[in-house]
Chain A
Amino acid sequence: MAKIPLSFTVNGDPVEVLVSPQQTLLDVLRDELELTGTKEGCGTGDCGACSVTVDGRLVCSCLMLGVEAAGRSVGTIEGMASADSLHPLQQKFLEHAALQCGICTPGILVAAKALLDRNPDPTETEVRYWLAGNLCRCTGYDKIVRAVLDAAADMRATHSAA
């Protein structure tokens, strides 16, 4: 089947690629744009390792066709840190040792950021349910949840100080 030209933005930058109609957004990001920070753990939307945002909404990029991203704004792990510093969530994940092997980490960070964008002051239970779609087999989630709550507290403090 003929390839389709696809234009969208990734982490604020415009991109243009030729994609197959059956390629998922995950395939397009990883295979066409070499943005391999987004991971494939299952391909069926169950593990959350491929979490990205599309126009600010959290999605499993393995469940969305690449062509559906046309004209939209996609956010991936590669766009999370700014030029001069890590995002507070990234920093807190390091400080809390909230990762072991690290394969789920990009998806969890993207998902956690989407949570804090909506709810800057989540409870532990809210964090646990929001991240229930992101599997981690190494940590038992304890340090992940603590890191998210700590990052949220820091971001609230920074926000109110500003």
Chain B
Amino acid sequence: MQEKVRDLPREPEYRVVGTRPIRPDGVDKVTGRARFGADLNMPGQLVGRVLRSPHAHARLVRVDTSKAEKLPGVKAIVTRDDFTDQASEFVPAGEMLINYRDVVRNVMAREKVLYEGHPVAAVAATSPEIAKEALRLIDVTYEVLPHVMDVDDAMLPGAPLLHEDMITQGVTPAPTTPSNVAKRVEFLLGDAAKGFEQADIVIERTFKTAPVHQGYIEPHAVVASVAEDGQAEMWVSTQGHWVVRAHCARLLGMDINKLRVTASEIGGGFGGKTVVYLEPLALALSKKARRPVKLVMSREEVFRATGPTSGATVWVKMGAKKDGTIVAGEAILKYQAGAFQGSPVGPGCMCAFAPYDIANVKVVGFDIVTNRPKVAAYRAPGGPISGYAVESVVDELARAVKMDPIDFRLKNAAREGTKAAYGPKFGPIGLVACLEAAKKHPHWSAPLGKNQGRGIAAGFWFNIGGETSVSLSLNEDGTLTLLAGTPDIGGLRASLCMMTAEELGIGADKIRPIIADTSMLGYNFLTGGSRSTFSSGMAAVEAARSVIKQACARAAKLWELAEDAVTFEDGFVKPAGENAGKHKPMNLGDIAKIAGKTGGPIVGTSAINAHGAAPSFGVQISDVEVDPETGRVSIVRYTVVQDAGRAIHPSYVEGQYQGGAAQGIGWALNEEYIYGSDGRLQNPGFLDYRIPVASDLPMIDTVIVEVPNPRHPYGVRGIGETPIVPPMGAIANAVRDATGLRLTALPMSPPRVLAAIDAARAAGDKSLKVG
């Protein structure tokens, strides 16, 4: 129940929210003190290693561990025989769903290996050298099968089948033969066919995007210890330790209360640390060995066996009238799921046309399995792929009707009351405000140089709330300790302290924030869906209001007044009015001193399902320079404009904008997996899978637009995911502006851009602009 202690303060009254204090976990992180996943060692700990399939697709005939077991120093080996099969059941993982039948097969291959890197055994030994030797001694017999890597190939009749029993869901009547298409989804608004009849201009294009990895710098790491009585503890780098606990308890057949999970500091996740890989293996090994087991992935394992997000084929058709009104939009999205179903094609469909008020929309999506690692959530999962395709076509429509691309978007922008193609009517949203801010920004009117071009694109993400639990204790001296349960990846603890401090009328430094382990609070869903500042913030505010209410009650007791004769203002408990008598106002320190005598410790708690998450829209402007000799595209200027609802700590909001844009720039220009014809990944390292480095990027300018979310006490929207949606479209549109050529495949890497320029030159294409 939410206590309403006082009305929401007006913005000018905020003392803490909107300022830029130093984050509470900052010193630990600049001194090397902060402990990440691989930084903890337990006494008696063993070293774990995972044996992985060298084949993209094979029947797993036999796994013989007998020789490895005899090697001195080997303490445990686990294979598929150590995991009970699971029934098919979908459970939420961030914005996506996972199925336990598939999870148990992904953490350890059963009937088949479905991608290169798929685990087939794990070993725990007394040294890394012995563990490595043990892996060599495990004898695995594979029956190699033909594999399929691309969504279009996987949909062809006669394509190799990953799951012989997979019947496409969402098709009526249900198909009678299995295929690699797990699911078909459809979103309809109005009548697309009729809409196109009203169009003066119709443009349709097919786009291809490459799968890209989240690229967190910290590889997955876990230490697990299972005692003889079944009580277990785990230290893990994760975006959600309650979720890890649930998955592991399920896979290991444990009672949930037996497993206590502590989230380490997390070295980046971006959605990729919302699922389990090593954790069940570490527990199973520790259970067998009766000693703690540490498992840490190498970077190569991260690339071969975790993440990424989908590669896709996307067809988009849009129609507009001469006056610039978009009358219809249609899209077909084919997303790679990797080895098991569950690509983010659903959110991809829902995001596709979300920034625009279009009367007639039809979006169809296909979730397609291929012999690649199972995809995991990656920042706005699914949205950047469909957004890239739609924003490219929107750019072409604006050119066709000879409108400025911002004016064209303003004419069609979603506003409060617009019915989105995926269902809801939007509440107050900031897209128009962002487009207007972009138009006014000096970047939009700055002159361009030779071989340079400018592009703009819009983007959207839903954001979510969900189960959240916090606890706020008033300490003996009036300071407070805040326990929250959503791992802090990029400044959450700072924001939570600031909102709590704002409520309590004290400085943010008077509150020590701790990310609690799973034994200390009720269930917390993971940090994902841009939900942590929104949801844990909402809970922290509620807990603070509970502390205030209790403080008032204690003062009332001391002053022998009715509780409603005591009020709380600017950090002080005081009599509500003249009639209540003259009592010296008490701050939280004074209340803490009398807490024992007036009823005991004061603790505010909140356990909620946070409702009212609101979408964040954004717009990004990109200037590129294209080198016509090499095809290299350089980003010469970049601006991010986005609605934050309210920026609690503006520096970390800017950081999310800049970081999301940088990841999008990598997606647009460089990042892709290169597989050989044998189905093996040829670039499983940061040298060849090149994420943007400091010298690749300019400063990234930011504009924080604030259209408060009316359903959050401080107006917060989620802001972390939207920034990765616009970059690919903005950059593709800038490349179009610079070269005259519409590139329809990502990444726009030098060989691909050069080939497009050379082909245009050879064909005498008059639209070619670069010299």
Stretch with Cβ within 8 A of A (4 or more), from B31-39, B248-256, B705-713 = B31-39
**Which of B30, B265, B691, B700 has a CB less than 8 Å from the CB of A94?**
B30
Q: Which residue of A lies closest to B652 (CB)?
A: A97
**Which of B25, B31, B217, B659 has a CB less than 8 Å from the CB of A140?**
B659
Known: A41-B299, A78-B31. A97 touches B20 (CB 8 A): yes
Is residue A102 contacting chain B, with contact meaning CB distance below 8 A? yes
- Distance of A68 from chain B, by nearest CB (Å): 19
Q: Per-position contact with B for A124-162: 1 when CB-CB < 8 Å, else 0?
A: 110111011111111111111110000000000000000
**Which of A35, A41, A127, A137 has a CB less than 8 Å from the CB of B663?**
A137
Q: Does the CB pair A102–B35 fall under 8 Å?
A: no
Chain B 10-54 residues near chain A, CB threshold 8 A: 20, 22-23, 25-27, 29-36, 38-39
Q: Does the CB pair B659–A139 fall under 8 Å?
A: yes
- A77–B654 Cα gap in the complex (Å)? 26
Chain A 19-64 residues near chain B, CB threshold 8 A: 20, 22, 30, 35-44, 46-47, 49
Q: Does the CB pair A101–B490 fall under 8 Å?
A: yes
| Across-interface contacts of B694 in A (CB, < 8 A) | 127-129, 131-132, 134, 136, 141, 144-145
Q: Does the CB pair A141–B489 fall under 8 Å?
A: no
**Which of A47, A93, A104, A139 has a CB less than 8 Å from the CB of B658?**
A139
Q: Does the CB pair A103–B35 fall under 8 Å?
A: no
Q: Does the CB pair A94–B218 fall under 8 Å?
A: no
Q: Does the CB pair A109–B30 fall under 8 Å?
A: yes
Most buried by A among B31, B39, B490: B31
Q: Which residue of B lies closest to A130 (CB)?
A: B694
Known: A39-B267, A140-B661. A135 touches B686 (CB 8 A): yes
Is residue B589 contacting chain A, with contact meaning CB distance below 8 A? no
Q: Does the CB pair A140–B658 fall under 8 Å?
A: yes
Is residue A123 contacting chain B, with contact meaning CB distance below 8 A? no
Q: Does the CB pair B687–A44 fall under 8 Å?
A: yes
Q: Per-position contact with A for B681-701: 1 when CB-CB < 8 Å, else 0?
A: 000011100011111110110
- A2–B653 Cα gap in the complex (Å)? 52
| Across-interface contacts of B695 in A (CB, < 8 A) | 125, 128-129, 131-132
- Distance of A25 from chain B, by nearest CB (Å): 16
Is residue A80 contacting chain B, with contact meaning CB distance below 8 A? yes
**Which of B23, B661, B685, B699 has a CB less than 8 Å from the CB of A46?**
B685
Known: A41-B299, A44-B687, A141-B662. A102 touches B267 (CB 8 A): yes
Is residue B491 contacting chain A, with contact meaning CB distance below 8 A? yes
- A97–B691 Cα gap in the complex (Å)? 21
Q: Which residue of B lies closest to A92 (CB)?
A: B30
Known: A44-B686, A137-B215. A143 touches B655 (CB 8 A): yes
Is residue A106 contacting chain B, with contact meaning CB distance below 8 A? yes
Interface residues on B, range: 35 or more
Is residue B88 contacting chain A, with contact meaning CB distance below 8 A? no
Most buried by B among A41, A80, A102, A140: A140
**Which of A86, A102, A135 has a CB less than 8 Å from the CB of B693?**
A135
Q: Which residue of A lies closest to B490 (CB)?
A: A100
Q: Does the CB pair B30–A105 fall under 8 Å?
A: yes
**Which of B36, B214, B217 has a CB less than 8 Å from the CB of A136?**
B217
- Distance of A17 from chain B, by nearest CB (Å): 16
Is residue B305 contacting chain A, with contact meaning CB distance below 8 A? no
- Distance of B131 from chain A, by nearest CB (Å): 14
**Which of B23, B35, B215, B649 has a CB less than 8 Å from the CB of A36?**
B35
Q: Does the CB pair A97–B658 fall under 8 Å?
A: no
Q: Does the CB pair B36–A94 fall under 8 Å?
A: no
| Across-interface contacts of B265 in A (CB, < 8 A) | 101-103
Q: Does the CB pair B268–A94 fall under 8 Å?
A: no
Q: How many residues of A contact B (CB 8 A)?
A: 58
Known: A77-B32, A101-B268, A102-B34. A133 touches B693 (CB 8 A): yes
Known: A140-B697, A140-B700, A145-B694. A96 touches B217 (CB 8 A): no
- Distance of B668 from chain A, by nearest CB (Å): 14
Is residue B266 contacting chain A, with contact meaning CB distance below 8 A? yes
- A95–B23 Cα gap in the complex (Å)? 9
- A51–B33 Cα gap in the complex (Å)? 16
- A132–B217 Cα gap in the complex (Å)? 15
- Distance of B442 from chain A, by nearest CB (Å): 17
Is residue A99 contacting chain B, with contact meaning CB distance below 8 A? yes
Is residue A4 contacting chain B, with contact meaning CB distance below 8 A? no
| Across-interface contacts of A99 in B (CB, < 8 A) | 26, 29-30
Known: A103-B36, A137-B216, A138-B659. A86 touches B31 (CB 8 A): yes
Q: Does the CB pair B23–A103 fall under 8 Å?
A: no
Q: Which residue of B lies closest to A20 (CB)?
A: B129
- Distance of A45 from chain B, by nearest CB (Å): 8
Q: Does the CB pair A101–B691 fall under 8 Å?
A: no
Q: Does the CB pair A47–B23 fall under 8 Å?
A: no
- A49–B663 Cα gap in the complex (Å)? 18
Chain B 264-311 residues near chain A, CB threshold 8 A: 265-270, 298-299
Q: Does the CB pair B218–A103 fall under 8 Å?
A: yes
- A134–B683 Cα gap in the complex (Å)? 19
Chain A 77-119 residues near chain B, CB threshold 8 A: 77-78, 80-81, 86, 90, 93-97, 99-106, 109
Known: A43-B299, A44-B685, A90-B30. A141 touches B697 (CB 8 A): yes
Q: Does the CB pair B217–A142 fall under 8 Å?
A: no
- A46–B215 Cα gap in the complex (Å)? 13
Most buried by B among A35, A90, A95, A136: A136
**Which of A47, A100, A141 has a CB less than 8 Å from the CB of B491?**
A100
- A152–B427 Cα gap in the complex (Å)? 47
Is residue B206 contacting chain A, with contact meaning CB distance below 8 A? no
- Distance of A31 from chain B, by nearest CB (Å): 8
Q: Does the CB pair B270–A137 fall under 8 Å?
A: yes
Q: Does the CB pair A42–B700 fall under 8 Å?
A: no
- Distance of B445 from chain A, by nearest CB (Å): 22
Please list 22 pairs of residues, one from A and one from B, whose beta carbons are closer than 8 Å in the complex, sorted by A's number.
A39-B267, A41-B299, A47-B299, A78-B31, A90-B30, A97-B651, A100-B489, A100-B490, A101-B216, A101-B218, A101-B267, A102-B30, A102-B267, A104-B267, A105-B30, A133-B693, A134-B693, A137-B268, A137-B659, A140-B658, A140-B692, A145-B699
Q: Contacts A41-B267, A99-B26 given; 4 further ones with Cβ under 8 A?
A: A30-B38, A35-B32, A78-B31, A131-B694
Q: Could you list which residues of chain A lie within 8 angstroms of chain B, going by C-beta atoms? A: 20, 22, 30, 35-44, 46-47, 49, 76-78, 80-81, 86, 90, 93-97, 99-106, 109, 124-125, 127-129, 131-146
* For the complex of A and B, 5 pairs with smallest distance between CB atoms: A37-B32, A103-B267, A140-B662, A102-B29, A97-B651
